[in-house]
Structure 1
Amino acid sequence: MTDLHPGVADPVMDTMNFLNEVTLNYPEAISFAPGRPYEEFFDTEQIFVHLRRYLDHLAAQGRSPAEVRRAMFQYGPSAGLIRELIADSLRVDEGIDVPAESIVVTVGCQEAMFLTLRALISGPDDVLLVSSPCYVGITGAARLLDAEVVAVEERENGLSCADLEAVVLAERVRGRRPRAVYVVPDHSNPSGVTMPLEARHELLALADRLDLIILEDSPYRLVSPGAQVPTLKSLDQDRRVIHLGSYAKSLFPAARVGYAVADQSVLKDDGTTSLLADELAKIKSMITVNTSALSQAAVAGALLASGGQVSRLNTEVAAHYGDTMQVALRGLEREFPAERRSRLGVSWNAPSGGLFLTLQVAFPADDDALGRSARDFGVVWTPMSYFHPEGGGARTIRLSTSYLSHADVEEGLRRLADFIESEVAAAHARG
């Protein structure tokens, strides 16, 4: 068969499969590749507790047994069953005060991205702006939707408004319309960078001045220790921000429950207005119809248990991830003291939270190098070149610290140091 959509052949589509294959092919290797939650915090019986709590909640609201049964077994509304609970949770946890009608419950955050891009990208001249490096899920979705992606180089504190404005103006000179900018402002995937408060205010002001929509994706806030910088959406006075959310990291990924907060007003051809969330729900009805009622019920039970404060549920989890990140940073200092660091050309950043950090090396950190690392040294990582939509990151690797025990982090870094030593020696031998 030929003539498939060209997006299917895009190298970005192979990223996750390649990493999974490397991990499966070398099961004894320690893997810094997946950004998965730490499994020791999962309790199988808790699923039943969550479901029971939500069913009791429905009954307490006056739903009849037949209505409860229908809610759990039948097709549900495309916009979701638990929008009110999500709205309450966003209010108490994130300071995001929006009506429930402005929320669409999605199959993970990935669907929220897809729906939002499908709605916003209305013509061939519309452009999505992203930081570089950038999460591959958004660039992959854009590719499948034939949406043009233009990268803005990420700096030490995240996206620079000066850089962003320059790119917007350059695209307009080319006759194109920058429609939205995608950002992960907190402990970003892949770089671990967090945008300071002042930069967030600047970005909001710039978006209003340049007529841009901001797509805010922040899945790592509630699994990071300490006080967090306010979300862009909580600071948004002009409805410039579409907040894309997920319970994959803060509760459990298998539920596949995410959401989009889209409280923007849409002017229709007939002169009437609607919420952008309503339009996203229409698109969703043609893709996944609705998000699993059972998955929504499990998430709802967890929200009810915490009074909507997922942050309170995650106090121990966030502390663990924070500790693991510190173990990794101390391990890097131990494996690469100043003299060795200088000799090998190694450096790294020190994120304040989240699951990821980046390591710069003096050799091409490509698929071939990853294969040697897994096969000969028993350690897996992610090439940062995967995350640069217009090229870059050739000598940088991403390390995820979330999935491993402290002991595995330390042993993995020892193996990684041996691998880097070997690569540098081989490069010197080749002259």
Structure 2
Amino acid sequence: MASFATLFSLLTIAILSFSCSSQFILPIEKDPLTNLFYTSVGIGTPQHNFNLVIDIGGPTIWYDCNKNYNSSTYNPISCDSKLCPKFSGCTGCSGPFKPGCSNNTCAANIINPLVNAIFVGDTGNDVLFISHSKVSNLLSGCTESEVFTGEDVPLKNLPKTSKGILGLARTKLSLPKQLSSSSSHKLPNKFALCLPSSNKKGLGSLFIGGIPQQSSFFKFQLTKIPLVINPFSTAPIFTKGDASYEYFIDVKSIKVGGEILNFKSSLLSIDNKGNGGTKISTMKSFSVLHSSIYSTLVRDFVKKASDKKIKKVALVAPFGACFDFSTIGRTNTGLDVPTIDLVLQGGVEWTIYGGNSMVLVNKKVASLGFVDGGKKPTTSVVIGGHQLEDNLLEFDLVSSKLGFSSSLLLHNARCSNS
């Protein structure tokens, strides 16, 4: 008869295996040319591995099913199916049947936010391979990239190795929602993101279902704030009355070096047309600010930097403040520059240290990593990827809350080695 210790060990292993299998963990890499982030998933039969760009504001999963792609497990969704989103339209094809070429098929809106166009593809379900697991009947869009000609094509401005986009937005067809709705997985409707600052230090992580207890990230205490729903859609295509599926937070004010910036505070609120406010985006390399906010930030940051004897140098586009790298000190959170604080609801502060505020543009120059979004942007503050690196974020879509760590560098940790 097996000993109690043996039975206990087997039970422990079984519990841990169940816990680990209840969430999916995907590796995140950073593309050094575009500064975008992507992960790898397997799709179809036989399995085809695709690098998909991570878009937390993306409504769907879509990929390039070009002439070299096929899958025996692909099933197109018919136009009259309950799974076909309302007002999607219908597509057809005169060629041999394959993913991206079928008749009476529910059209998919292929959205690449880096291109000023919307492309049409097909909606279908197929198997998805993630975290060494096989997920059946996952809905996605696919499009044959080579049928599009001209300047705008679906994969434009994405990393050269990427073949589509993995959407994590607040929609029925995003990856977190589909996996939380699956009868075979029943994951919590949440996800966590930890973006790497460099592939040289290791890969980051995307946790579908939240941060696993077995992960070393679980030890970090997250500050939780409400996610705000913009009642007006910010999508490139939508139906009147749709709310935005992107992730907004309620920033009340912004500080530099502990002092509040002086700009029109109403820019931080969402107005009756859906303009203004603050959202989070992985498709913007650097945070983008309304011109009024940006000019004030740059002015006050330069003044505070001068107080620290940091020497200003000629600008390097697209940045509005650049400095002599040799005059900047070092700390465990990056370059020793004035901190930038996002003051949130209830007085909570999200502090941006030098590791996230500064960009080393060459060996001699470091620039403030924020850019001017113009005088009439739809959203006043878009927090971009550089400001999110080495920060642990958890999006809980049930409680509609965001948990954030601020810089993991404070704890001598990184997204890539924690």
Q: TM-score, normalised by structure 2?
A: 0.28
Q: Which has the higher strand share?
A: 2
Q: Which has the higher helix share?
A: 1
Q: TM-score, normalised by structure 1?
A: 0.27
The structure with higher relative contact order (CA 8 Å, sep 6+) is 1
